[in-house]
Amino acid sequence: MEIPHIPVLLNEVQKIFKNLKTGYFLDCTLGFGGHSEALLKNHP
């Protein structure tokens, strides 16, 4: 049985980065990369 990973506060994090046009992101969380994956989809 595989337990799905659900990023916590993902929508809130995306709102913070919504209007950011330049810069670097460094995901220092200890999860499965859910936040990084979502941010990369919105900021390729």
Find tokens 């994956």 and name the residue: 37
The predicted pLDDT at position 36 comes to 85
Answer yes or no: are the C-beta atoms of 17 and 42 closer than 8 Å.
yes
| CA angle (14 as vertex; 29, 26 as ends), nearest 5 | 35
Domain boundaries, the chain: 10-42
Q: What is the pTM of this model?
A: 0.61
Find tokens 């919504």 and name the residue: 18
The predicted pLDDT at position 33 comes to 81
pLDDT digits (tens, 9 = 90+) for 10-32: 899 889 888 887 778 777 877 78
